[in-house]
Chains A and B, each alone.
Chain A
Amino acid sequence: MNLPKTNMIQLPSRRRFLQDSGLGFGSLALASLLNQETNANPLAQKQPQFAAKAKSVIWLFMTGGPSQVDTWDYKPELQKRDGQDLAGADPKTGFFTTSGKCLKSPFEWRQHGESATWVPDIFPHLSQHVDEMTFIHSMYLRQNNHAPAAIELMCGTNRPGLPAMGAWMTYGLGAENQDLPAYVVLHDTRPRGDDQIWSAGFLPKTYQALTLDARRKEAIDNLARDGKHSDAQQRAQLELIRTLNQEHAATRATQADLAARINSYELAYRMQMAAPEALDIAKESEATHKQYGMDQPECATFARQCLIARRLVERGVRFVQIFAGKGVGGDGSVNDVPWDCHSDLQTNHRSNGLHTDQPAAALLADLKTRGLLEDTLVIWGGEFGRTSDSQGAKGRDHNPNGFTIWMAGGGVKRGLHYGATDPFGYKAVEKKVHVNDLHATLLHLMGLNHEELTYRFNGRDFRLTDVAGSVINEILA
């Protein structure tokens, strides 16, 4: 039989073909929805459904759950009633049992900026940027322990095996820079939940995060060979691989995935160059290093992570998530949940403030200077808040019923306070925002309709927002 050449056959676009090439069924709907040609590369950049306000997201994940009433949700009433009964307190809100007595914030609070935002003294640097931020004070979710809450916050529902929002965004938008992964996670000690909170879940592994471990200085596995052979040698090898693979593919004309694999070697070769370059913070000026706090041991790790994050979004990485690692410690909290101030919130939050404040502020300033803040959305927040009543004498337990996150940049209002907790900061009461609403809003900012970004798995069309979620229009710029 005469073998047809590849280009003689019109390859159909169809579910199986897409699956073979890593694009799922749901994305076909999306692709046609986006009125765009199907591309064999599932990471090819896709046009958003409507004009996007943000191109990239950097989420500064405050691992362990910072206390809202000791960070961004000032409650004078709580300050006044220290030690008194907290009306309506449920001692079983968190993981342990709380006292039911109000515990005031031990920090000094002052108002900052035109927005007159109250900030505790643990954030001397971030306090200078409050007018850039939109605060959502009425966040809530359903899980009251670290891993389940982090899964809910990242994946929309507390069930392992679901894709995290970074994977969803990459699935919906592809990669802007083909030489770098679109979704990058930076962590120190692995947070509770590990891979489950940045998983591609049932989505193709194409949308899996690249994880960079601070303890290994962000090394990427298999990025380079042992160095015994030259670039010319590798080129020769790749040439040979390509030629032979092309011959192989030519006789298997219906296999679009073979072409993708041929291409993947080119991409890999380019990634070998691009990734080290992107991660090479030595290229940054000394002033920049100082600005981020690289010279200070208390925050050097987080500083490096923030600086890398900026370099990544600068190069078109779609979603960067930094899981804040250990602070200076001292209150007995553990490395994988640094903000987890069960026993001594003052020591804990001060130490975590030292670890994160200056780098986060520098990131905002740096992005702004470079004109990147306009289309980069920076988010600050952890998996839940803390109880307004005390655990033990000086600690606070987990509290998923009300907590604050802030966002800055790409498409959100500046200096806005949205929603509210009760006068003690215990529960979100006004304009409550569930994780699903937050996700709907984030996808909206990225130019995606959360109800239409679906993927069929085991007989169901899944969404990041499950069956709920509404865009919070009031915070959009």
Chain B
Amino acid sequence: MKQHSFSTVAALLFATSLIAPAITKAQAPDPKGIEFFEQKIRPVLAQHCYSCHSDEARAAKKLKAKLYLDSAEGLLDGGESGSVIVKGKGADSLLVKALKYDGLEMPPTGKLSDEIIADFTKWIDMGAPDPREGRKPGAAKRVINLEEGRQFWSFQPLKSITPPDVKNADWNRTAIDRFVAAKHEEKALRPNGPVSKEKLIRRAYFDLIGLPPTPEQIAAFVQDASPNAFEKVVDELLQSERYGERWGRHWLDVARFAESGGYEFDGFRPGAYHYRDWVIRAINGDMPFTEFVRMQIAGDKLLPDDYRGAAATGFLVAGPYPGQITAKTVERIRYDQLDDMIMTIGGSMLGLTLGCVRCHEHKYDPIPAQDYYGVASSLARTAHGSKTYDPDPAATQRAVEKHRADGEPLNAALKKFASEELPKRFAEWQKTELAKQPETPRWQVLEPVTVEAERSWLKMLPNGIVAHDGTFAIESNARRRPRAARAAEEYTVTTHTFQKNLTSLRFDAFTEKSLPKRGPGVSGDGSFELLEIKVTARPLDRANLSASQRALAPGQSDQAESSGGLRPPARQDSDKPIELKLKPVFAAFEDKDQPLANVFDGKPATAWVVRANAGKDNAAIFEIEGGLPGFASGTELTFELNFRDLGIGRVRFAMSTEANPATWAGDVAPQHLAEIRATLAANNNLIPEAAREPLARWFSPFDLETAKVFNTVRDHVNREPRPSLTEVYTTIPGGQDVFLLRRGEVDNKQGKAEPSFLQVVATAADKEARWLPKPAAGQPAIDPRIGLANWMTDAEFGAGALLARVMANRLWQHHFGEGIVGTSNDFGAQGERPTHPELLEWLAAEFVKGGWKLKPLHKAMMLTAVYQQSNDVSPDNLKIDSQNRYLWYHKPRRLEAEIIRDALLAVGGSLDTTMYGPSLLDNTPRRSVYLRVKRSELIPFMTMFDAPEPTQSIGERISTTLPTQALTMMNSPFVRQQAEKLVARIRPTADVPLETAVDRAYQFAFARLPSKEERDRMLAFITQQTDANPNITLTEFCQVLFCLNEFVYVD
């Protein structure tokens, strides 16, 4: 892309003013300050300080502490002891402390007068106005030239490359081979031919899924003579779920994934494993890499209120973070946290070392500090935390639908019962029992017909109590409708009555031993804060009943209803309910100044608070002003309770038809009998056909058969499936503005930073606006993290080309042992240059063209001649290229820690392939990717075999050889156990000849048969061991196999 040519400095200024305009320039010092400096400060500096702290001192080799006090810049930069002045804070400045002989003693020749020290204090308090220009010498500032920087190979746009023509057409199979072969020809190297099929399949299995092939899998491949036999193996492995576990682990290395905070208490993060699971799922699903990146940077913003988005941004917060923060360290720790995110994004995705830019311009790469703080600002509103999600809302929805369908036959049975059985049973009861029933009590308990809550799930108990069932919904997922302004929880309970002339209502809140502090509130202290109660009434018009209401109000299921069980149907305007005007009469307990009356004062912010009086059953009664006459078809009464925080554990509603004033006095009993009496009274002592189904409810306490059918329906409704909610460790809102820090010091702020990206890989004419456009009027602003993700995945004008190169290189690295760029986390000037630049370019371009899919890229790499080469080492080639930089043979590699353990389990036949879920200690037979990663207590087996310290992005693991590794293979109970298990596989019964057992063990462990010599030697060993102790014969032999290099190396 063409750019105007500016001088170096102009280019920077241009960039500064347009790309990151928000880094506010310090104001010009006022003339008075300058005058003060010239009169009081400069003479002292010149007389007492310059002899050791100036360019002249440096020339005379007298410079001390790398501190220059002869320029404004030097003074601001400070020296070895850090900053010497904190603008505006004279007393806190090291310079003043040194003058005061507090810690340092300057000048060493003798303490200056208090007056001079006071001048310095005052001058720094004024902001240290300093007109002196000139640059700090010595460590001369490198001026970053972006235009020049963009010429560096890795920062250029992707080029379109044609694979070269090569002479050795016999060897190469694919385009990739032609790039490699061209280098061979250039260097006069003769590449190897194909490796044996046994070795090839072992190589492919370990590379793609990290497990050895079974003897059967080997045999199938060896016997498959078709030309695409290997392609079939590769395809199969790429479809295996083990693939995501293997390659997910590679990504977890670069993501410095761990499940604890490190530092003081290394607090465990129980929800952190969701990120690991997300990575495995994404890789198994071949998620386009751009989406993979976008989700990790901004998943919570791209898919708000979605488990997947939250799990993905576990990436940003996977780093270490102190568990105990003191007031003195809080701000610095926040910048540490941002630094951790930036370093990880840099290393894992962009192949750049960004951490050093926190304190100074990048020493080698064209990355000025303002770019670092621009990225930091994009992350500014990102904090660590946990949120609750339904990991599979679709499954929950399916379960709800199934539940509804399962309810249909129950409803039908109730309906059938109501029309066929109920009338005669009721008639009999009416004749013999009704007259013996007691009088209607003052307080009739209303039986709930439907219950729902905003943030939790409620159930209906048989005694009319509405109970919180202990499940809380996701806070951010308002499940139903907008809540009252200040309410965090809302209960809605509907009840039915056929009685007339209601006068008063009663509300009970019960304690229960399962509630926190026995309740009645669900809050930790058993309290509740009830903001408002709203009661509405309307005709029991059947057409308006929801599915679940229908289930309990039989006879209505013929009215087809499409809306889900979680949502009530849309109401018609004509159904508008009447709100009852209530007058509070009594509450059993009220906290001081927070009375029941607050519920009815029309102010949503005030509440009836029961905290001081928590732990006791509570109740309140209200009069219905003017009474409620009731509707001819029956009345639906709906109670809406708004709570400030959480709700009440056990709630019950009751009504009265007795004349006011309302009073506590009198019995409390279910409404059923009165409903029966009311229905009979209105219908000449008979039950009309239309009233049969409601009657099932009212009659059920008096008739076992009715109760059975009716309760079946109610129990089913109570069993409505809940989502299986889980806590995810993820990004949560939080954080503060980010400032550009001089030398990375929080006391040295240079102005607020605004979101911006790395200019060297940002060539769009419209700059940041391309990725982070200003929202249209009235639209919410785009989250800067989405902007960051947009920029990172923009292959044309953003960092996408670099991103593609870095990832294509990682794939190559794990297939060939080493990347085309050897330093897979550093594509900058300090990193290595690509051995095959055109090949990397071509791979990156193919990757982008193919929709950023990894699986085709794996396949392209593995179907090559270069991948399938043998391990033979030719002395001639070795003389030319001893390091195999040009890939003339396939280098054997030691397996990683996880794969050694997995291979032991697999060969022992004990591997459990259960996927996902909370992490485990290493006494599990599951794959090692599911082992716990607690920073202060890493699993010894993993650490011993070089699993990395999960504190920074790791692109290349080191492979060490330690005697403790040998001790483990020789002596550990785990290895011993797998040896014993292998024995059971190779010689399940004593009639299996030892030769066969040895052969089979070789196949399991090495994917090959032993040579005759090897077999004989092993048999001799077994015999010798048998002589000594027959019980351990074959186990010793199997353990020997595990101790062999061949077991932990793949050719």
Residues of A within 8 A of B (CB): 1, 3-4, 8-9, 12, 14, 16, 19-22, 24, 42, 92, 94-95, 143-148, 151, 159-161, 181, 192-196, 199-202, 204-206, 208, 210, 221-226, 228-230, 232-234, 236-237, 240-241, 243-245, 248-249, 251-255, 257-258, 260-265, 267-268, 271-272, 427-429, 432, 457-460, 468
Contact = CB atoms under 8 A, between A and B. Distances in A.
Given A145-B326, A147-B264, A268 B967 contact: yes
Contacts of B937: 194-195
A254 B884 contact: yes
28 contacts: A4-B873, A19-B959, A20-B959, A22-B958, A22-B960, A95-B326, A145-B324, A151-B263, A181-B964, A201-B949, A202-B948, A202-B952, A205-B944, A205-B962, A222-B972, A237-B1040, A240-B1017, A248-B1045, A248-B1049, A252-B1051, A257-B894, A258-B1049, A261-B1045, A264-B962, A265-B1043, A267-B963, A267-B966, A429-B103
Nearest to B81: A468
A261 B1031 CA distance: 29
Given A151-B263, A205-B960, 12 more contacts: A16-B818, A19-B958, A22-B961, A144-B328, A147-B263, A159-B336, A194-B266, A205-B962, A233-B1029, A459-B353, A459-B826, A459-B831
Contact of B1044 (A14, A92, A248, A252): A248
Contact of B103 (A144, A226, A234, A432): A432
Given A145-B326, A160-B320, A205-B943, A236 B1021 contact: yes
A204 B353 CA distance: 21
Contacts of B322: 145, 148
B832 to A, nearest CB: 9
Nearest to A398: B326
A12 B951 CA distance: 33
Contacts of A459: 353, 823, 825-826, 828, 830-831
Interface stretch (B516-524, B617-625, B710-718, B875-883): B875-883
A241 B1043 contact: yes
A241 B1040 contact: yes
Given A193-B264, A236-B1024, A458-B347, A271 B963 contact: yes
Contact of B883 (A14, A240, A255, A271): A14
Contacts of B830: 459
B430 interface: no
B113 to A, nearest CB: 21
Contact of B878 (A148, A254, A468): A254
Given A8-B875, A12-B883, A193 B940 contact: no
Contacts of A147: 263-266
B650 to A, nearest CB: 41
Contacts, number: 233
Contact of B966 (A192, A206, A265): A265
A159 B972 CA distance: 33
A458 B1040 contact: no
Q: Could you say which of B882, B953, B967, B1039 has the most chain A C-beta atoms within 10 Å of its C-beta? A: B967
A223 B967 contact: yes
Interface string B958-983: 11111111111011110010000000
A253 B875 CA distance: 10
A263 B966 CA distance: 10
A241 B949 contact: no
B891 interface: yes
A191 B1021 CA distance: 47
A143 B333 CA distance: 11
A204 B958 contact: yes
A429 B958 contact: no
Interface in B308-326: 320, 322, 324, 326
Given A8-B875, A229-B1029, A208 B943 contact: yes
Interface of B: 80, 102-103, 262-266, 320, 322, 324, 326-329, 336, 343, 347, 353, 355-356, 818, 822-823, 825-826, 828, 830-831, 871-875, 878, 882-884, 891-892, 894, 935-938, 940, 943-944, 946, 948-953, 958-968, 970-973, 976, 1014, 1017, 1021, 1024-1025, 1028-1029, 1031-1032, 1036, 1039-1040, 1043-1046, 1049, 1051
A178 to B, nearest CB: 9
Contacts of A249: 1045
Nearest to B882: A12
A352 to B, nearest CB: 21
Contacts of B262: 160, 196
Contacts of B968: 221-222
A447 B959 CA distance: 28
A174 to B, nearest CB: 14
B959 A268 contact: no
A148 B884 contact: no
A147 B658 CA distance: 70
Contact of B326 (A92, A258, A457): A92
Scoring A9, A193, A241 by chain B CB atoms within 10 A of each residue's CB, the highest score goes to A241
B1045 A258 contact: yes
A228 B966 contact: no
Contact of B949 (A8, A143, A161): A161
A237 B1025 CA distance: 9
Contacts of B965: 264
Nearest to B823: A459
A471 to B, nearest CB: 14
Contacts of B1046: 244, 248
Contacts of A237: 970, 1021, 1036, 1039-1040, 1043
Top 8 A-B pairs ranked by shortest CB distance?
Answer: A161-B951, A194-B936, A268-B966, A459-B353, A22-B960, A267-B963, A147-B264, A268-B963
Contacts of A9: 873, 875, 878
A240 B327 CA distance: 62
Nearest to A210: B964
Contacts of B949: 160-161, 199-202
B810 to A, nearest CB: 15
A401 to B, nearest CB: 10
Contacts of A264: 961-963, 965-966
Give the one of A12, A254, A468 with max B CB within 10 A. A254
